[in-house]
Amino acid sequence: MTEVTSSVAGVEVSLDHWIGGKRVSSSERFQNNSPIDGTDLGAVSAGGKAEVEMAVEAAISAFPEWAALGAEGRKPILDKFARGILARNEDLAKVECADNGSLLMGNIHRLVPRTAQNISFFAEYAMSLQDHIIDHEEVTNDVRYDPSGVAALITPWNAPLMLTTWKIGPALAAGNTIIVKPPEWAPLTCSMLADIAHEAGVPAGVLNVVQGIGEDAGDALVNSPELARISFTGSTDTAKIIGQAAARTITPMSSELGGKSPLIVCSDANLDAAAQTVVMQYMNAGQVCLAGTRILVESSIEAEFLEKVRRALGQMVVGDPREANTRIGPLIHPEHFARVAGFVERAKAAGGEVLWGGATSDVGDLYFQPTMFTNVGLDAEISQCEVFGPVLTWQTFDTDEEAIAVANGTQYGLAGTLFSGNEDRAMRIASRVVAGTLWVNCYFVRDLSAPFGGSRISGIGREGGSHSFDFYCDIKNIAVRKGSFAGGGN
C-alpha cells in the first residue's frame, strides 16, 4: 500500500507506521482531528498484532549491530538526531500544536529544545556508564551495562514529543532497539521523529513506530513475548492492565502515572511567587500529570493570597494555542472534555463552591475556563481524583501537621510544591510529603539527571540520569577471582 500523508499546519506528515526503516500502511485507520477547531488532520494507520509482530521482528534483527556499536558509536548518530530535531523546531512545534492543542510558543521555546536535549543528554550520559570496576579482596567486580534488547515505549498525548524522547533517549543510548506506540489522540510528531532519526542515520529497525489505538496496537505490543522492557507513561488504570501483561512474561516495566499533587503555601512564603505558581497549574489546560491541583493555603494569609491569585489569573488567557498571548488552549478531545466537565458538574452538585470558572469557554468547543473550587471535603471526588483539566481545589490549613496530612491524603504520590521562606520549616514539611518530586519555592524544574517518577499509585520506578539506564540495561557483574589466570593478571 502506498504511504498516506497529510498536510498539517503546512507540514507534510506521514500517517503510517515506521517499521524496519520503511513506511507501512494499514487498511484499518483511525480519524485524527485537531482540538483547536476540529480540523481534519487525516486518518492514521491503526496497527494491531500483525504490525506489532513485524516491528518486533525488525527490532530483534537490528539489535545486535546497534548494541555492538557501543555508546561511543551511537553518540554521533544520536547527536545528529538531536540536531535534526532542532533544525525542524518550527515544523515539530506547529504539528504538536495542531495535534494536541499545546501552545505553539511553548513548543518552540521549551518543548522542542527539551526534546532534542532528551536525546543528546542521554547519548552523552551513556558514555560514562562503561567500565565500572568495584574492587574486592578476592575478586574484581567488572560491572557492565548491557543493553536489554527490545523495549516497548508507550506514551500519552499531553506532551508527546517531550515524553516520548524522555524514553527514546536513554533506551537508544543504552543500545536497545525500540518500538514506540504513540498516543492515538496525538500521534503525529512521533511519526516525524521517525523520519528525523532515519535522516540522522539511526539504522533500520532500531526505532520503530506502530500507530494505533491503545486497546489494539498497545495491547498487542505489551503482550508480545519478545520484549525486554516496557516503559509506560499514562493513566493508572491503563498501567494496571499493562502490568498484568508484563507480569505474564516477567518483563520489567516502568510506569509514570497520574497525580493529585499538593501545592502548599505557608504564611512566611513569597506570596507573589506562589500566586504566579498557582496560575501556572493551568498550563497545558491542566493536562499535566505533575500539576499541583490541590492548593493548600495557611489560613492566616488566605484572604491576602486569594487576592494575589485572582490578580495573577488575569494573565491566563483562554484562546487559540497558535496565538502568542494565549496561556490556556483546548482540551485534547471531546471525550476528555466530557470527562472534565463531568467532574466539575459532580463537584458542584456535591456542594463545591466555584471561586472562578466552572464552565466551558466561548472560544470553541473544547475550551474550558480555568476553574477553582473551594468548600470541598477532603474525601470528595474532586479532592481525590485526577481531573487532568484546568480545575483546582482550594483548601486551608492551620498547622504544618494538618498541611502534611492533607497533602498525603490521596492515593497518589507524584509531585508536590511548597512555598515557605523558612528553610527549617520548608525542609521539615518537604521531607514528610509523599512525592517523587517535591519543589520548594520553585515549580516544574526538571533536571535531566535528577530522579523523576511517582510513589504509591503514581508509578513504578524512576527515570532520569542513571535511573533511566538502570532500567534500560541488563546490569551484569563479571566477578573474576584475583590471580586466577596464568600469568598472574587481574
Q: Give least dist CB 184 to ligand ADP, A.
A: 5
Q: Give least dist CB 335 to ligand ADP, A.
A: 9
155 or 395: CB nearest ligand ADP: 155
| Distance set, CA 412 to CA 107, 255, 278, 316, 373 (Å) | 28, 13, 19, 27, 20
| Distance set, CA 420 to CA 15, 75, 168, 446 (Å) | 49, 42, 37, 20
Residues 6+ apart with CB under 8 A from 424: none
235 or 249: CB nearest ligand ADP: 235
User: C-alpha grid cell for residue 169?
Assistant: 533517549
The site string for ligand ADP over 136-175 (x = CB under 6 A, - otherwise) reads: ------------------xxx-------------------
The identity of residue 63, as a single letter, is F
Answer for the pair 88, 195: CB distance below 8 angstroms, yes or no: no
Q: Which residues carry out catalysis?
A: 256, 289
Q: How far apart are CA 194 and CA 3, in angstroms?
A: 14
**Contact pick of 218, 259, 262, 389 for ligand ADP (by CB under 6 A):** 218
Q: Give least dist CB 148 to ligand ADP, A.
A: 19
The site string for ligand ADP over 223-252 (x = CB under 6 A, - otherwise) reads: -----------xx--x--xx----------
**Contact pick of 51, 91, 99, 219 for ligand ADP (by CB under 6 A):** 219
182 or 262: CB nearest ligand ADP: 182
Q: How far apart are CA 425 and CA 265, in angstroms?
A: 12
For residue 319, the tally of other CB atoms under 10 A from its CB is 18
- HSE-up of residue 119 (Cα within 13 Å, Cβ side): 27
71 or 162: CB nearest ligand ADP: 162
Which residue bears the cell 483562554? 318
**Contact pick of 222, 266, 290, 295 for ligand ADP (by CB under 6 A):** 222
Q: Give least dist CB 421 to ligand ADP, A.
A: 36
Nearest to 232 by CA among 465, 453, 473: 453
Residues in contact with ligand ADP, counted by CB under 6 A, come to a total of 16
Q: How far apart are CA 243 and CA 318, in angstroms?
A: 38
The site string for ligand ADP over 177-196 (x = CB under 6 A, - otherwise) reads: ----x-xx------------
Strand partners, 147: 473
125 or 157: CB nearest ligand ADP: 157
Residues of this chain that interact with ligand ADP (CB under 6 A) are 154-156, 181, 183-184, 214-215, 218-219, 222, 234-235, 238, 241-242
